[in-house]
Chain A
Amino acid sequence: MRSRKSILFFLAALLAVGWAGLPGWSWAREVVFLDLTDFTGPVAGLALPGSLGLEDYIKDINAKGGVQGVKVKYIGVDTRYDVARGLSSFKRYRRDEAVLAINIVSTPFGKVLKEITAKEKLAITIPGDGEYQAHVGNFFTWGPTYQDAFAAAMDWVAADWKKQGKSGKPSVGHLAWDSPYGREPLRGGKEHAEKIGINLLNPEFFPSGTPKHDVYLSRLEAAGANYIYVACVDPAPTNVLRDAAAMGLNKKIQFITDYWGPTALGVGTHPEAVEGAVIVSFFLRGEEAKNHPVTKRIWTTYQKDPLEKMNETYGMGIVWGMTFEAALKDAIQRVGVDKLTKEVIFESYQRLNGISREGITGPCAYSPGSRRGSQEVKFYRCSKGKIVPITDWVKTPDAVSLHKW
């Protein structure tokens, strides 16, 4: 009797071990994409919709059975544009083996994290700090670097100046948050502007959360700005444009914003103030974003709100998900499900050069020597309460290499 029980136990154990060895076991594997983001605070207006897009895309991956059977878990943490909060959240999760990649939305936090993770092989995705391109490491920017986008904007300024038949040099003011992010576009962008004959005025910086921008705008006006490049995160650029419009400056100065300039959020709040402003963007804006088949499908499947309420960074969040999915797929193909590690995913991120994001952004430009998420931008203009394209996708200049890092 006892030996019969032993045989049955042995067979059951054998079955369990065999089951574990079957490919179906991989269903039990779940990996984590950690999103250390700002659900509240100065960049929440764009970070939150981005994270929603990412979360919904991950839901969609899982609804289809995961990435080759591997399910993805989304974990989002509110870091409030606060480096200390971000750091403690990072420490909380850094040793978790299920966490294969981390997305962060704060440039100042990225600067701190870079020092800590310099020797690690862990893929961290981040906005467009050019330092990560200048010193290739484990940070991957979402799109073109800030300086590349700034350089593309300066090319647009030069062409616009010429188109208007004006002689001499156009004078351009830089009005930005007083933060590593606000100063980043000039590290290489300044060199590019000078190279193409633009007169860059003394830059103006103001703290995030500044309620009124009159003083900074007045000074740029007095300096003779023909164009002002605004680098802060919506709704802050909209607030700058609101103050500019109240001072009547939007009638005589052409405002251009970086890719965090007015989205549906800003245009919905102050349509009259943002009228005529130009946006250099690495992701689809306006109706193009809302009517894109992928963003539209994901939004209508997972969000309860009507499509009109969709902010364009929702599509950018979907691209974060697409990129992680592609890296995960590549990693599984190379090493198999059981050997997935942070390091393997890090290597895969470097192999994504050229993968398509369905046109929501330009193709991925990651490679062993590149940390740029893409090298394309598109120009839009705020017009009659809408954001309309004024160019097709344009390849950005390489401004990072112009700066002495």
Chain B
Amino acid sequence: MEGFLQLLMLGLMEGGLYAIVAAAIVLVFKSTHVVSLAHGQIMGFGALAFWIGVVQLKLPLALALIGSLAFSAAMGWLIERAAMRPLIGQPLFASFLNTFAVFLVLDGIFQLILKGESYSFSAYLPKGNVSVGDFTLPITQLVSFLGSLLVFLGLALFYRWTKLGLGMRATAEDHQLAQSTGISVRGVFSAIWVLSSATATFAGLALANVTDIYYTLPYMGIKGLVVALVGGLESLPGALLAGLLLGVLENVSAGYLDPLVGGGIKEVAAYVLLLFVLLVKPYGLFGLVRIERI
């Protein structure tokens, strides 16, 4: 039982991180109906910008955080203006492929900057473990998890109470209707890329706090995509729940099934879950069911 609880808790902690990556992807989809493959890279660059701020430029943490958010927001804005906006009116699949092109370009640059090294935030954050009963949790992971939950809360409040958030929700419902009510859909598109890039940076910071800035960091965007699909591409609560579910599933299944099958369960659990959920609920757990008149 101890082992199970330990795996469960570690899974929840990891799941919280996956969820926030998925949230960035959900934000873009909600308003633009484009599934973004580029957010993993934005996440990586955001974390790298923060690392440069605190380690190389020796800025105070708050300033480095603001700087990295501003950097990734600018990156999101630039991607929207340069790569996505020219495709407005074109098939959505073209936009989706374009995010893949952005992914490849940014990945190449990220790998070249990193040169195989890894960068750590560990010197700047609390260390040690928290013991809860018989199991222990690393403080870094706990901080990251709580940070992720706070970001979710912030996004929920933003959508509920701000004018821009309400505009985004309206745009998500119907682009033409939103435009006819005076909402600048293009402006919303820009804003959503800025907001989702900033969210991706939070995800990058939370993840890098646990796993370091390593060549694999941007590929967590793929895991985020799986979570977003499982939760339903339009649903932020769905992203949170699916993230937690995936984290637990990965850890518990690897803990118990790896010895039976020789390992590797953790790597395939996400895709098995995705396959299963999409077979049963093609729009994800909380996705909107689109009904088309035949």
- Chain A partners chain B: yes
Q: Are A222 and B115 in contact (CB under 8 A)?
A: no
Q: Main SS of chain B's interface residues?
A: helix
Please report the number of residue pairs spanning A and B whose Cβ atoms sit closer than 8 angstroms.
Answer: 108
Tell yes or no: A47 within 8 A of B by CB: yes
Contact of A214 with B117 in the complex, beta carbons under 8 Å: no
- From known contacts A44-B215, A211-B211, A222-B3, infer whether A269 and B10 are also in contact, taking CB-CB under 8 Å: no
Measured CA separation A38–B115 after assembly (Å): 9
Are B258 and A270 in touch, CB under 8 angstroms? no
Q: Mask for A202-213, Cβ within 8 A of B = 1, else 0? A: 101111011110
A264-278 contacts to B, CB under 8 A, are: 265, 269-270, 272-273
**A178 with B263, Cβ < 8 A, contacts A43-B116, A218-B7, A269-B120 known:** yes
Instruction: Decide if A246 touches B211 in the complex (CB within 8 Å).
Output: no
* B212 and A209 contact, CB distance less than 8 A: no
Question: Given the known A-B contacts A207-B264, A212-B211, A219-B259, are A41 and B116 also in contact in the complex, defined by CB atoms under 8 Å?
Answer: yes
**A204-B263, A205-B263, A211-B220 known; A239 vs B3 contact (CB < 8 Å):** no
With an 8 Å Cβ cutoff, the count of chain B residues facing the other chain is: 40
Supply 5 further A-B pairs (C-beta < 8 A) apart from A215-B266, A248-B129: A39-B116, A40-B112, A43-B116, A44-B116, A247-B138
B179 in the interface (beta carbon within 8 A): no
In the complex, what's the smallest C-beta–C-beta distance from A381 to chain B, in angstroms? 21
A49 to B182, CA, bound (A): 57
Query: Taking the nearest CB of chain A, how far is it from the CB of B281, in angstroms?
Result: 28
Which listed residue, B215, B251, B258, touches A214 by the CB 8 Å rule?
Answer: B251
Given A43-B116, A246-B141, decide whether A215 and B215 contact each other with a Cβ distance below 8 A.
no
For the complex, is A189 an interface residue (Cβ under 8 Å from B)? no
Contact check, A247 vs B263: say whether CB atoms are below 8 A apart.
no
Q: Smallest distance from the beta carbon of B57 to chain A beta carbons, Å?
A: 18
B140 at the interface (CB under 8 A from A): yes
Q: Does A48 contact B (CB under 8 A)?
A: yes
Q: Which of A44, A80, A215 contacts B254 (CB 8 A)?
A: A215
Seen from chain B, the residues whose Cβ lies within 8 Å of a Cβ on chain A are 3, 6-7, 10, 14, 111-112, 114-120, 122, 127, 129, 136, 138, 140-141, 207, 210-212, 214-217, 219-220, 251, 254-255, 258-259, 263-264, 266-267
Interface residues of A in 212-231 (CB under 8 A from B): 212, 214-215, 218-219, 222
Q: Return the 4 tightest CB-CB contacts between A and B, nearest first.
A: A44-B116, A246-B138, A45-B116, A40-B111
B263 touches A206 (CB 8 A): yes
Question: Which residues of A have CB within 8 Å of B119?
Answer: 269
B212 touches A242 (CB 8 A): yes
> With A215-B7, A222-B3, A235-B118 as given contacts, are A272 and B127 in contact (CB-CB < 8 Å)?
yes
Bound Cα distance from A178 to B207, whole angstroms: 23
Using A242-B212, A247-B138 as known contacts, say yes or no to A215 and B118 having CB atoms under 8 A apart. no
Given A207-B267, A269-B118, verify A239-B259 contact (CB < 8 Å): no
> Closest A-chain residue to B250, C-beta based?
A215
A219 and B258 within 8 A (CB): yes
Known interface pairs A215-B266, A218-B3, A246-B129. Does A42 touch B115 (Cβ–Cβ under 8 Å)?
A: no
Binary B-proximity of A10-50 (CB < 8 A = 1, otherwise 0): 00000000000000000000000000001111111111100
